C-alpha cells in the first residue's frame, strides 16, 4: 500500500476510467481495479492491482473494497443495455458502510436533472431529448442519484459530465453546481478532477457539473 492508501476503481477500462489509475498513482495512491477483461489493461505498474470479476457480484465487490480508503465508480454500459447503475451503486454503498470506507466518487451524465438545477434553455432541451431517447437509463440514473442523496453517513460526490472527448492536452476544468458550464470535456481532465476530489471536501454530498 502506498503512503496515501488504496483506491478501489470500478470502470477502469472505459474512456475515462482508464486514465484514473495512472493519475491516482501519480498522486501517491495505490489502485485496485475491477475489470471484466484484464487483456484490456496495457499499463504495468506495481501500484495497480487488477481484480478480474463482474461488478454485479457482491463477493467480488467486497474483495475489491477490502482495505481500501476510497471508491471511484465510473462504471458504464451501452446506452441500450438494461441499466444496472442504481443496483451497482446500492451494493457498493452497502459494502462501504460494512467495511467503514467513507469516501465515494461517482460519475453520471449531464442530462441528469435534479431538483435545485437551473439549466439554460439549451441544456434543458438537451436533457429532455436524452430523457426521450434513453428513458430507462435516465430513470435508473435518477434512482442512483436519489440513493446517494439519501446517504448521509458517507462522504459522496456525484460528478455530472458533458460529452467526453479524447484529448492529450490538459485544459482547465469549470465547475458549476446548477448547470453544465460547457458542452465537452477531455477524458484526462475528468480523471484529474476525480482524483483531486479524493481528499477534497468542497463537493461532498453534491452533484456538480464539470466541463472544459
pLDDT digits (tens, 9 = 90+) for 136-189: 999 999 999 999 999 999 999 999 999 999 998 999 999 999 999 999 999 999
Is 70 part of a structural domain of the chain?
Answer: yes
Q: For the domain that residue 157 is a member of, what is the CATH number?
A: 3.40.50.720
Is 66 part of a structural domain of the chain?
Answer: yes
Domain hosting residue 86, numbered range: 6-204
Question: Does residue 1 surpass a pLDDT of 70?
Answer: no
Is 29 part of a structural domain of the chain?
Answer: yes
Predicted confidence at residue 43, as pLDDT, reads 65
Is 48 part of a structural domain of the chain?
Answer: yes
Residue listed under C-alpha cell 476510467: 17
Is 210 part of a structural domain of the chain?
Answer: no
Determine the Cα angle at 126 with ends 123 and 129, to 5°.
150
Element holding 10 (H helix, E strand)? strand 6-10
pLDDT digits (tens, 9 = 90+) for 42-82: 667 889 999 999 999 999 999 999 999 999 999 999 888 99
pLDDT digits (tens, 9 = 90+) for 108-147: 999 999 999 999 999 999 999 999 999 999 999 999 999 9
C-alpha cell at position 136: 430507462
Nearest 10 degrees: Cα torsion 182, 73, 97, 38: -170
Is 209 part of a structural domain of the chain?
Answer: no
Q: Which of 27, 139, 122, 32 is nearest to 87 (CA)?
A: 139
- What is the pTM assigned to this prediction? 0.95
Is 13 part of a structural domain of the chain?
Answer: yes
Q: Are the C-beta atoms of 23 and 193 separated by less than 8 Å?
A: no
Is 1 part of a structural domain of the chain?
Answer: no
Give me the number of domains the chain comprises.
1
Predicted confidence at residue 14, as pLDDT, reads 84
Amino acid at each position: 500500500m502506498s503512503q496515501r492508501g488504496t483506491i478501489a476503481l470500478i470502470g477502469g477500462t472505459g474512456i475515462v476510467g482508464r486514465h484514473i489509475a495512472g493519475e491516482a498513482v501519480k498522486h501517491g495512491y495505490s489502485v485496485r481495479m475491477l475489470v471484466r477483461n484484464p487483456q484490456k489493461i496495457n499499463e504495468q505498474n506495481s501500484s495497480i492491482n487488477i481484480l478480474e470479476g463482474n461488478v454485479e457480484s457482491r463477493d467480488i465487490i467486497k474483495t475489491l473494497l477490502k482495505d481500501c480508503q476510497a471508491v471511484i465508480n465510473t462504471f458504464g454500459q451501452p446506452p441500450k443495455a438494461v441499466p444496472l447503475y442504481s443496483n451497482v451503486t446500492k451494493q457498493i454503498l452497502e459494502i462501504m458502510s460494512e467495511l467503514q470506507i467513507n469516501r465515494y466518487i461517482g460519475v453520471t451524465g449531464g442530462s441528469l436533472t435534479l431538483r435545485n438545477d437551473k439549466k439554460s434553455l439549451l441544456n434543458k432541451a438537451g436533457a429532455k431529448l436524452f430523457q426521450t431517447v434513453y428513458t430507462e437509463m435516465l430513470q435508473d440514473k435518477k434512482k442512483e442519484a436519489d440513493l446517494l442523496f439519501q446517504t448521509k453517513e458517507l462522504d459522496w460526490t456525484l460528478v455530472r459530465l458533458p460529452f467526453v472527448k479524447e484529448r492529450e492536452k490538459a485544459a482547465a476544468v469549470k465547475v458549476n453546481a446548477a448547470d453544465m458550464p460547457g458542452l465537452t470535456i477531455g477524458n484526462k481532465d475528468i480523471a484529474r478532477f476525480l482524483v483531486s476530489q479524493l481528499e477534497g471536501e468542497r463537493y461532498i454530498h453534491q452533484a456538480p457539473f464539470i466541463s472544459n
